[in-house]
Amino acid sequence: MDTAPASDRPDDQRQHHRPPYDEVQASPEFGELRTAHRSFAFPLTIAFVSWYLLYVLLSNYAGGFMGTKLVGNINVALVFGLAQFLTTFLIAWWYSRHAAAKLDPRAEAIKARLGDSS
């Protein structure tokens, strides 16, 4: 029975097949992928959080406005609340389209290059 640690064995090939993650992270392709993600995700996140905070602040400090009836028992607060759900689903749909068009092809190219180098 071999009791030597795996790293001491001469036949250990793990070090030779380790993908060069530092090289990938420093590559221009990875930088483009990161930029494509950040340029979409950060502004949209800021916009959505601002929209959500506006809803919360209006609910707390503008009760008269939020209680304004629009049609029957439907008031501004209900419309804003439902719009929160709608924007959440729209952002998720928009992000999935962005990822499929801009992020996934770049990620697959990096993944393929990683597979070729190991």
Summarize pLDDT for 48-59 with one digit per residue, the tens: 999 999 999 999
Residue 14 falls inside a structural domain? no
Distance CA(7)–CA(70), nearest Å, equals: 71
Kindly state whether residue 12 falls inside one of the protein's structural domains: no
Q: How far apart are CA 99 and CA 46, in angstroms?
A: 18
Total count of domains within the chain: 1
Task: Return the percentage of the chain with pLDDT > 70, whole number.
Answer: 82
Band of residue 114 on the pLDDT scale cut at 50, 70, 90: confident
**CA 82 to CA 93: how far, in whole Å?**
17
Residue 51 lies in a domain: yes
Q: Does residue 48 lie in a domain region?
A: yes
Domain that holds residue 87: 27-117
Is 5 part of any domain?
A: no
